């Protein structure tokens, strides 16, 4: 004799059919938007203070100013005949303006997160990206890109070794196929 699992009516009067042999009572309760917002507020990192907001704004302004100087040194040209520094110059101007805006008007921003151990992940990502850019002219892009993908996936992303190796190799092969074989770009490469 077959038995059917017990179901209970939902909030709207409909009945839920449980999957996997459980009962409808095994299903978690849906949270209201207010409850979800309260749960997210409890889980979010502490807010950064005015000093942290000012420091991050000054870093953006400093990087933007340095990029402005480098782009001017490369030459700007005109919109009709741009030189290599024109578009980096424009992006640098945007960085400086946004940094100033954040410094002046964003001091009371409560959405910014306090620097924690997890903030180091962004610095590690930036450092490994800079190392890849520095190594590419010397040994090509294949090995630095493979190492970069592996570090980002395994240590920053927490992936398994199997998926890290598989995806890292596939990314390098895809970049090689697109940029070297199909487009014939002048990116430094080993093969």
Interval 107-140: pLDDT, tens: 666 667 777 777 788 889 989 999 998 999 899 9
Q: What is the pTM of this model?
A: 0.54
The mean per-residue pLDDT over the stretch 146-172 comes to: 94
DSSP secondary structure code for residue 32 in this structure: P
* Residue 42: per-residue pLDDT: 79
- Residue 140 to residues 5, 34, 135: CA-CA distances in angstroms? 62, 52, 7
* Residue 14: per-residue pLDDT: 47
d(CA 152, CA 167): 11
* Residue 50: per-residue pLDDT: 76
* Whether 149 contacts 155, CB under 8 Å: no
d(CA 23, CA 68): 64
- Residues 29, 34, 40, 43, CA torsion sign: negative
* Whether 172 contacts 159, CB under 8 Å: no
* Residue 32: per-residue pLDDT: 86
Beta-bridge partner residues of 82? 77
pLDDT at 16 > cutoff 70: no
The mean per-residue pLDDT over the stretch 6-26 comes to: 49
d(CA 191, CA 184): 13
pLDDT band at 26 (very low <50, low <70, confident <90, very high): low
pLDDT at 12 > cutoff 50: no
């Amino acid at each position: 004799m077959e038995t059917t699992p017990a179901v209970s009516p939902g909030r709207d009067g409909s009945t839920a059919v449980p999957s996997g042999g459980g009962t409808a009572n095994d299903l978690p309760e849906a949270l209201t938007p207010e409850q979800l917002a309260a749960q997210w507020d409890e889980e979010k990192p502490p807010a950064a203070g005015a000093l942290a907001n000012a420091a991050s704004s000054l870093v953006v302004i400093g990087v933007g100013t340095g990029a402005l100087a480098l782009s001017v040194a490369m030459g700007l040209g005109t919109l009709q005949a741009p030189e290599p520094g024109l578009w980096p110059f424009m992006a640098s101007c945007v960085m400086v303006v946004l940094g100033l805006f954040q410094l002046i008007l964003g001091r009371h921003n409560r959405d910014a997160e306090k620097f924690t151990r997890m903030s180091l992940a962004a610095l590690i990502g930036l450092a490994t990206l800079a190392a890849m850019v520095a190594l590419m002219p010397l040994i090509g892009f294949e090995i630095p890109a493979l190492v970069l993908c592996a570090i980002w996936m395994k240590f920053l992303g927490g992936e398994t070794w199997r998926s890290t190796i598989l995806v890292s190799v596939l990314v390098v092969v895809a970049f090689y196929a697109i940029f070297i074989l199909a487009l014939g770009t002048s990116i430094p490469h080993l093969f």
